[in-house]
Amino acid sequence: MNETVLTGTAEHFDVIRLWEEDDPDAVLAERAKEITAVATGGTTIDGAFLDKLPALRLVASFGVGYDKIDATAAAERGVIVTNTPGVLDNEVADTALGLLLMTVRELPQAERYLRAGSWNERPYPLTPATLHGRSMGILGLGRIGEAIAVRAQAFGVSVAYHNRSQKDVSYQYYPTLLELASAVDILMIVIPGGDETRHLVDAEILKALGPGGILINVARGTVVDEEALAEALSTKTILGAGLDVYEHEPAVHPALLTLDNAVLLPHVGSASIPTRNAMGQLVVDNLHNWFTHGTPLTPVQESTSLLQNPQS
């Protein structure tokens, strides 16, 4: 857990560092009636876990994505779930644009070429694509998606998007993902993971993106069918892909590791010390505000009904 969370919670709470316990299940069982809050950084929290803690009132998640937490099951048990939106938007948007530039201009490949000494023999080949003049389709125009859109336009890239519903923005809206993928040559994924979005980007979507298409994923690996993506890259159905997230991370699909038109990062979208500390502080602030004032700062959507009807 982030040190900011550890330090901040220690100031206000009796903290159990569960990962340091020899028998975490025994500790949970022994102190179940005392535990009123959980701070988590990626642990699966489902109905069975929640049932072990009858006094639980709040789950504070470190991160904007919370697909490993069954927020619906939590709401059914009267447990609020919070996440850390906003404080990481710019960092992830910067990473997304950096990853896009790396993929389009083959910058990691060029660096490997130099390090191998190949530049002494001949210049690196011209890249087949450029970023300027391209069109980007954003799958999920939330806070991070909008931050990416602003950056993309500064690079001369036009922006369109697909959401579950249209937003009051100037960007072109497409009611289906297939229509969006057919209309653009960069598909930027910024939607949450979970069952509803699993393999939303499949072979059909990749084919629609086309042979000049670039796929960038800074959201959740489960959104993309990695088998279909590996096939699309190897057959040049699309031009390239830049990935910061994976379906079974930290494991990466073996085929992706062999493909030179795939740029792969180890889930570092928000991984700077200042941003992670800001996320950690928001975890602490959610916990403190809830137990002091009865209102969390950033509840997830599934928890809003509990806040609107506190007696339910």
Catalytic residue annotation: 220, 249, 267
CB 280 within 8 A of CB 2: yes
Taken in order 251, 252, 258, 264, the sign of the CA dihedral is negative
Residue with tokens 């991370």: 249
* 202 class by beta-carbon count within 10 Å (0-12 exposed, 13-18 middle, 19+ buried): middle
Residue with tokens 């179940």: 32
Q: How many helices (H) and strands (E) does the chain have?
A: 13, 10
What does the angle CA 76 – CA 78 – CA 80 come to, to the nearest 5 degrees?
A: 105
* Rounded Cα gap, residues 153 and 136, in angstroms: 9
